[in-house]
Structure 1
Amino acid sequence: MEELDMLLEELAANSMKNDSDKKLTLNLPAQSSGNTVTSGQSSEKDVYSQLPAPVSAEVMSPGTATRELDSIMNELLGLNLEVSEQMAEKDTKLEDKKETAGTNGEKDPAEGNASKNLSKNIDTIDNLLGTLSSDMEKMGVQTAAKGHCASCGKCIAGKIITALGKVWHPEHFVCVVCKEELGGKGFFEREGIPYCKVDYENMYSPRCAYCQGPILQNILTAMDRTWHPEHFFCSHCGERFGTEGFMESEGKPYCPKDFYMLFAPKCSGCGESVRENYLSAANGTWHPDCFVCSDCLKPFTDGCFLELDGRPLCSQHYHTRTGTLCATCNTPITGRCMSAMGRRFHPEHFVCAFCLRQLSQGVFKEQGGKPYCNSCHDKLFL
């Protein structure tokens, strides 16, 4: 210590002799004396005389680390998107070149270079993700993989969607038809495959037999087909069916009124539709109450009728129309017949109008529209 003090005094003296304005500052080690010797003007601040205040090393909180992770992941996704866009442009150019090369029979080397560049970019992103995961682990943030994406098969370290018993990257959980992301909305599942609402309904919902649109709520089943309830109506009048139900013809539904009007047989008597009990006779269909003699309108109590020109007639009026009534007894002639004076007679009823003897020989004389035998005619009129 004495030698050190002596050295300091010599240095101070030499300094004052050589240059009165020159200043010299010496910061002694803490092990020696713990005192600080300063030469020159005392008003000047000695930068070596004080140690800087210690700064505590803060550990990044998990929340801050997570936000940093999200920021970096967004940058990586942006990078991936940019790479994808560039590769899409390259693919378009490669397709054009490939068509040209195919015409010339040559192979374009740009195709192989594009594949190598794509593989290189994917490897770069994977390396960045690996480095990021390691750094986050050092900061106290758990970055262990949450599972493997059911779509791409890669580990999931950021946001995750759990659905259908699997885990997915949010951008990979999409409708299998339109590729729309399903993370922020509802979805439908069929055989383990996700669909958006529109595509699922278009592909698997039952179809209305009238409008062919998907049936989403109430469904009506009739004639082995499905219908919107508001679309199941009469094919003729358009009215919806009530308690009377409907009737079918050629695969179309009809209300009973229109069905009978359009398709039911018509009564040959009144012309109305025959719905229930009916009779088939005289080449027509009849209501039981309408099957009567066309002349006297009386029913056929004995069940027998005769037909003339498609009209049913009782025996009396049939023979009247055909002229086969006996002119004497006014009853139908069903057997042998005598024709005379424009009329017809039963043989036994063709007699002399005066003596009433049968004119069996067919010899007679007429007077006043009546037949007479020769003797009576001579007596009466000669």
Structure 2
Amino acid sequence: MAEPYNCTKCQESLFGLKYILKEEKPYCIKCYEELFSSTCEVCQELIGCTSKDLSYKDRHWHSECFLCTKCSRSLVEKPFSTKDKLLICTDCYSNEYSAKCHDCLKTIMPGSKKMEHKGNSWHENCFSCNRCQQPIGTRSFVQKDTHNYCLPCYEKQFAMQCVHCKKPITTGGVNYRDQPWHKECFVCIGCKQQLAGQRFTSRDDFAYCLVCFCNLFAKKCAYCTTPISGLGGSKYISFEQRQWHNDCFNCKKCSVSLVGRGFLTCKEDILCPDCGQDV
């Protein structure tokens, strides 16, 4: 005949009483609840053996205490969220905390995919091109006047076309004579160097960098033979179809500057009056 069980803690006989085995050790109901039962988060009372223990992240509730903090509806076997450790049904959470779609103004339910840009949120299907109505997803897009456009639609509807290559300008360009250019298309007609950000000039509607313009069109200094650009306010001397840089307009013999002074000519040379008397 088997020996009667005694409660492991209080040693009271369990004969004819309900008891619970834990790790093969018997406990009376009272001792088991004192030792092992959890405390309910809401009512702070023990969750007895005869009650259903609902747990979430090491926290416990009676089933009758497992309620939405906002509307008090039961959350047993229903989806829920938490805010500051408080239980909230998905409806209340959505109404109070979930983002609203910038397009349809409806709540973006927790767990559903949403798109975000500059502080605004959209349902995935609402985040679409304002022109073709196709979802943008993760493709590149442009925002204009609070509307979103995929790049092909934006280029067709808004982007200016480069005068040179006839393709849309989407990332900034150059305006020259009231016409738009890609900066990589706006180049010197001579050396093909980009002109954006540097000084240039034009002739016959063609743009030239200063070096090419001077080499092609500027008059040559009669002394040093390099071009006289005349650009940017630089001064030069002109006499009988010949030109000199100011710094080059000197007496051939004594090298004194003749700018603003009288001078004489001897064949191809220019001389100061003093040196000219010796000729």
TM-score range (shorter-chain normalised) is 0.3 to 0.5
Higher strand share: 2
- Name which structure has the greater RCO, CA cutoff 8 Å, separation 6+: 2
**TM-score, normalised to structure 1's length?**
0.35
Higher helix share: 1
Looking at CA atoms only, which structure, 1 or 2, has the larger radius of gyration? 1
**TM-score, normalised to structure 2's length?**
0.45
